[in-house]
Each structure stands twice: as C-alpha cells, then as structure tokens.
Structure 1
Amino acid sequence: MLKRYKIRNYNFRLVIMLVAISSLGVLLVGSADPTLQRKQLIGVIGGLILMLIVSLMDFSWLLNFYWIIYALNIALLIIVVLMGSSKKGASRWIQIRGFQFQPTEVCKILLIMFFAMFLMKHEDDLNTFRTIVESLALIAVPLILIAKQPDLKNTLTIAVIFCILMYVAGLSYKIIGGTILVVIPLIVVLLLLITQTDLPIINNYQKNRIMAKIFSEDAEYSDDLRQQENSITAIGSGQLGGKGLNNNEVSSANKGKFVAESQNDFIFAVAGEELGFAGSCTLLLLLFGIVFECIRMGGRAKDLSGTLICCGMASLVAIQGFINIAVATGLFPNTGTPLPFVSYGLTSLWSLYIGMGLVLNVGLQNRTYPGGEKRYEYRAYRTRY
C-alpha cells in the first residue's frame, strides 16, 4: 500500500496553490461569518493532513476494492434517503452525535475512483453495447438516489463528470455524436415541459428558480432573483481593489446581509466586494491552475485509471467552480453549489482534499515510475472511431 516514492515527483506547485486558495477561503468565510472562521481553518488543516496521508497510499492498491467502494457509495446514499436530516425542504445530510456531513460530496470522489477502475478494466471493449449499458446502469443508481434527496445540481454535476470520464477512457466519436443528437432534443422537450406545464417533473423551488432566470422581467419571480441581483451589485461595488476584508461600510452587501449564504453559495460575491476585480481574478487563476495541474498529471499517469482519477478531479473542481461563479454573477439560475476550497463546508472541503491526495499519488507514480512505462498505452486514440 505504501511505497518508496521519489520526492522530486511530488507536485509541490499543486500543494502551494491549494494552500493559497484555501487560505483565501478562510479569510473570506471569516469575513462572511466570523463564527465559522475557526471551523474553516481547522477544516483546511485537517484536509491538508488527509491529503498528505492519501497521497502516500498506492492508488492502484485502493482501486482493487472498487466494487466495495461502489457498494459503500450506494449504502451512504440509501441512508440519506431513509434517515437523512431535512433542511430547507431537502434531505441531504446525516447527523451523528451533533456532527453533520453531506454524503453526496464524498460520493463524488468514490464514483470517480470506481469508474477509474471499472473503465480501465473495460478499456478494450468500452465501445461495445454491453459495456455502455453496464456503465449507464451503474451511474443511474446513484443519480436516482441523489435526485430523490432532492439535489438536482449534484445530479447534473455527477452526470457531466461521468460523461467526461467516458470520453477520456476512449468512447467512440460515433457514439458521442449519436448521444448528442438524442440528448439535446430531450433537454429542449424537458425545459418546455417544466416551463409550460404543471407536471411535477422537479420540485417547485427548483422550477421557480429556472422560471425566474428565463422570465426575469416577470414580477412574480422577483424574490427568486433578488439574491443574485444583490450578489452582482456586491461584486461590482468592489471595483478594482475591493473594499477590504472585514470592512464596516454600511453599503456592504456582505455586512448588510443582503446576500444570503454568503459564506457558502455566494462566497464569490464576498470576494468580489472585498477583494475587488484583482482578488476575484486571483481566485480564478488559482482554480485554473489546480485544474491544469490535475490534467497535466493525468497525461503522465502510469495507466488509464490514474488518468481518469486526475481528469475526474479536474472536472469536479472546474464544474463546481464554474457553476458557483455563474450563479453569483447571474449567468445560471440560483443553485447552492460551493466554490471549491473556498466556501464553508467541511464535508466538501475534506472530500476535495482526499481527491487531491489521490491526484498527487498518481503524480508520484508517473510513467517513469518502475513498471509504469510497461503498463500504460494510449489506446483511447485507437478506439475513437
């Protein structure tokens, strides 16, 4: 499980960027809600320790238990559906002696690990009907359980990550093209059914948020848009250099509580207002750097499973970061997605750090690692057509 690694293969650039963005997160969370800053700091320290431990564990050894990982993932989601604690109309949390955590955040990492091994095992027959059906069936079970919580954003996030993993594994362009031709009309029909009928396809609050985005000028949905409008105002008010952390300006959207969940869903509004355009760009560059390093290490992985772990984590950080910022800037309907490594939430933070630990271990076992050059071939390019 533990091996002798070469220290020069440890990606300290990624570690430095993770520490930097998490430090900014601690400052921003403390500004949004001072009572949570200590917890966030403890979460970052604990996350870094978890990342270090996982980074020294052989990811290939861990993936040998991929069916146990999948079973654990399903078990956690079933527990949430049956015994999860409710908050704001959704049952997404498990309470254990006063400690609350959201299993869906952990399940994202578990699913990336599972499909990294499953798809590598089926690399040679990935484009066969049987493998595609098995893959869809395996992802459908957790997606249905997550959708029942209800948690539409994470359902869509995991579905997109699954599609990216299938593409990276070598899914044929013919199958991808045929799927797109089928999926796009289905999405259009689904949106028409949601917006033009009263069919109970999604929950009412989810429908209202979508309707508010499409019919933004309708006074009926003004309440659903107010948070995003206040967020946009806060970001714009920061101008180039921002108002400064923990400022006491009366007009502050953060201090004035004009933006709800500013420590989590709208943390980018706090960054825009208090750190300005410069600080917001710094956050974006750090996120981009983390995603880039994950992809770069994936390209040097010793086998396909390592590549899929790195690309899966890169996709998770990129998708969640994009959604969070798109919501804060009014591009997407309001949905509660945390900004990776910045928003408050220990379950999300620790899960991401565990995932980054796996990425770092993949980097330690690159193609120059003993045995790596013999185990990995770029078969994906051969199986595209």
Structure 2
Amino acid sequence: MLERRLWRNLDYYFVGSVIALLLISLAVLSSAAANVATDPYYYVKKQLIWIFIGLSGLTLVLLTDYQQLKRYHLPLYVLNLILLAAVMLIGHEAKGAQRWINLGPFLLQPSEFAKTITVITLACFLDKRQGKLNRWQDLILPFTYVAVPMLLILKQPDLGTALVLLAILFGMLYVGGANPRLLLLIAGGGLLLAGLALYAHFHFGLPLPLQDYQLRRLVVVLNPYNDGQGGTGAGYHVIQSQIAIGSGGWWGVGFRQGSQVQLHFLPEHHTDFIFSVVGEELGFVRTVGILALYFLLIYRMIRIAARAKDMFGALLVGGVASMFTFHILVNVGMTTGIMPVTGIPLPLFSYGGSAMLANMLALGLVLNVNLRRQKILF
C-alpha cells in the first residue's frame, strides 16, 4: 500500500487533464466509429474496457517505488527485443504490416509497449552515465542501445513508432545532460541526410530500406494532390482530413453531423485521423480547448521532471513527455497536412487497446515519480 503522506504530492492538474481527455475521447470516438461496425458503440465499449485495464495497470505501477525498476532494466530490455522479434515469426498481418501478435480475444501490438519499455530501460542506462554525455563518442552507446529495437520495429514495417523511439532518445539525452548543441547538430544533420536520401531515391533510384507507400507518405506533404486520387493515393488521407477540419469552422458542424466522417470519405477516422473528427464536428474553438488540455498535460510532466528527487525519476518523466509531445505534434501535423503521414495515433484519443494500455502505464510512471518526489522523514 502507498504511504498516506505520498498522496499529498499528487498533481491534480495532471490527473484532471488525463480524465478530461479520456472522457472527451470517448464522446468523439462514439461519433467517429458510429458507422464503422454494426453496433454503433462497439469501439466505445472496447475502448472503455482498455481504459479500465489501463487504469488498473497505472495503479499497479504506483504501488511500487520507481527506483525498484532499476533491478529489472536488463530483463525488460531483453523482453522488449523478444516480443518485437516474435512479431516477425508469429505476427498477425493486416494492411500490409505485421505488427500484432494474436492472443485470441485481442491483438497485442508489442511496438506500442516498446516505447514505454524503452523509456524505463534507457532511463536506467543514462542514469549510470551522468556527466559522460558531452562528446560525440559518448553518444554512440545510447544511440546503439535504442537502434536495436528501432530496427526491429522498422522491419514490421512501422516507421512512425521507430521515429517515436528516436524522439524519446533525444528528449532523454537532453534531460540526462547531453550537450544541447551536439544534439541539435545530430538532429539537423540527420534531417538533412534524410532529405538528400529521399531526393536521391526519387531522382536517381537510390535504394532505401522503406516500403514504397512509406516513401510516398513522407513526401506527399509537399503536395498531396500529386497522389490523392481514387481513395488509395498517399495524399488522399491528407486531402480528406483537410476538408474535414476546414469545414468545421469556428464551432463545428455538430456531433455526428460531419459529412467526411459519417459518409466515410475520411479513412481511419476512429484511429490515426480521429483529430479530423474533432476539427469537423467540434470546430476550431473546442479543438483549441482540447489542445490546451494536452499542453497542460505536457507542462505538468515537465514540472514533475524538474521537481523529481533524482536523475532517474527526471529521465523517466522526460522520456514520457518526449513520447507524448512527439505523438501529439506529428498526429495533429499530419491531419492538418503540415507533416508526413506516419500512422502515429493521438494519445488517449485514437482507438487502440495496446496503445491505451501502454500510454496509461507510461502515465503511471509519471505519477509514481510525482508522488515520491520527496523523501518521507520520520
């Protein structure tokens, strides 16, 4: 059981923002998935189950001092690699990707849990290297440490989740004390190299370790109408999403009144493109309100990280904050057409059991650090 005094440290703004986002997400999902299945509330019921399972997992995380996680970082790292490798051997394939393991009643997506596990294991890894992250050669091991699960995820293929791990790595390196200029140079150099590689691929046939549809999604942001016909082009999702969000205006067209959503012009509107439903049916003003809740959530994470009693706790929260920030920016960016379509869901909003459970466990880590930010003196 938790020491009663620990509850005095609970961040109620953080908890309130999570609860508000979950409640709003269920309402939006009930509209987005109304015509997807025979039962209009089929996905809402399933999401509710996963929310309760996630809350149970969050509670279990709170019961153990986060410091105890240091004992299990190597087994967790190995388990992460085993699960990701198992996907390639016994994984369930859908929509051209092999990312799930069939467990009967549900499909498990190991790559979703890989993000939370990476936060835990990388925090242990970097905690032991405080003050030793200032040179180029100091960063080779951290990058290699994350590169192994990244490559396994890319093999599925799942470019979006692989990029999330990269965002987690940079965020945690910054929290861990790595030279910010060095991180900016690496990030800038990586983006420049990626851009040159894409240019060389499309103009000179340079082979790249990505599927054709992934490559099209990366460049279609420049002009979605170049590949937006027939409902299957890489730009079709972006075009329909922009139409949906644009038609919402200031106050939205009304709950379950969005033509793009209800008439199925917008694909994946209960998963990756659920933010488009928000824009169309709730409008700009309410959309800004939801984004403000996300901002509050991230702000409280940063505050909790800054007040953590040790570097390990700060790294855990910094990793979760980096993960959520990247998810939100990329998902909102791809639905509005300013970022490539990478298939990254909107945390706590998009339908998905594995994602919901993994996110709730990650939020449990944040609350764990928050509750134990001070040593109890007797």
TM-score (norm 1): 0.89
The unaligned stretches of length 5 or more in structure 1 are 372-385
With over 3 angstroms needed to count, the CA separation of the structure-2 counterparts of 1:330 and 1:185, relative to structure 1, is closer
1:47 CA displacement? 1.7
* Cα-to-partner distance string for 1:89-135 (whole Å, 9 max, x where unaligned): 11111111241021111010000001111111111333366643222
State how far apart, in whole Å, the 2-side matches of 1:7 and 1:307 are.
19
Partner of 1:156: 163
Partner of 1:380: none
The answer on 1:350 being equivalent to 2:350 is no
Q: Are the equivalent residues in 2 in contact too, given 1:28–1:271 (CA < 8 A)?
A: yes
The answer on 1:230 being equivalent to 2:261 is no
* Cα-to-partner distance string for 1:217-262 (whole Å, 9 max, x where unaligned): 5368773222211111111222222222223xxx611101010110
With over 3 angstroms needed to count, the CA separation of the structure-2 counterparts of 1:136 and 1:224, relative to structure 1, is closer
Q: Which of 282, 305, 330 lines up with 2:289 in the alignment? A: 282
1:30 CA displacement? 1.1
The answer on 1:125 being equivalent to 2:135 is no
Q: Which of 320, 331, 338 lines up with 2:327 in the alignment? A: 320
Partner of 2:58: 51
Q: Are the equivalent residues in 2 in contact too, given 1:3–1:57 (CA < 8 A)?
A: no
| Deviation larger for 160-169 or 257-266 | 160-169
Partner of 1:193: 200
Partner of 2:212: 204
Partner of 2:117: 110
1:85 CA displacement? 1.1
Partner of 2:88: 81
* Cα-to-partner distance string for 1:332-351 (whole Å, 9 max, x where unaligned): 22221111101100110111
Identity rate, percent: 33
The unaligned stretches of length 5 or more in structure 2 are 34-39
Q: Determine helix, strand or coil for the equivalent of 2:100.
A: strand
With over 3 angstroms needed to count, the CA separation of the structure-2 counterparts of 1:263 and 1:173, relative to structure 1, is closer
The answer on 1:218 being equivalent to 2:232 is no
Aligned residues: 367
State how far apart, in whole Å, the 1-side matches of 2:200 and 2:139 are.
28
* Cα-to-partner distance string for 1:277-330 (whole Å, 9 max, x where unaligned): 122112101111111111100001011111011111111111101111111111
Q: For residues 1-385 of structure 1, what are the structure 2 equivalents within 5 Å?
A: 5-33=5-33, 34=40, 35-127=42-134, 131-173=138-180, 175-176=182-183, 178-180=185-187, 182-201=189-208, 202-218=210-226, 223-247=233-257, 252-366=259-373, 368-370=374-376
Matched letter for residue 9 of structure 2: N
State how far apart, in whole Å, the 2-side matches of 1:165 and 1:278 are.
33
Q: Determine helix, strand or coil for the equivalent of 1:341.
A: coil
Q: Determine helix, strand or coil for the equivalent of 2:102.
A: strand
State how far apart, in whole Å, the 2-side matches of 1:183 and 1:242 are.
39
State how far apart, in whole Å, the 2-side matches of 1:200 and 1:87 are.
25
Q: Determine helix, strand or coil for the equivalent of 2:270.
A: coil
Q: Determine helix, strand or coil for the equivalent of 1:64.
A: helix
Q: Are the equivalent residues in 1 in contact too, given 2:249–2:284 (CA < 8 A)?
A: yes
1:216 CA displacement? 3.9
- RMSD of the TM alignment (CA)? 2.1
1:23 CA displacement? 0.9
Q: Determine helix, strand or coil for the equivalent of 2:309.
A: coil
With over 3 angstroms needed to count, the CA separation of the structure-2 counterparts of 1:345 and 1:252, relative to structure 1, is same
State how far apart, in whole Å, the 1-side matches of 2:256 and 2:187 are.
47
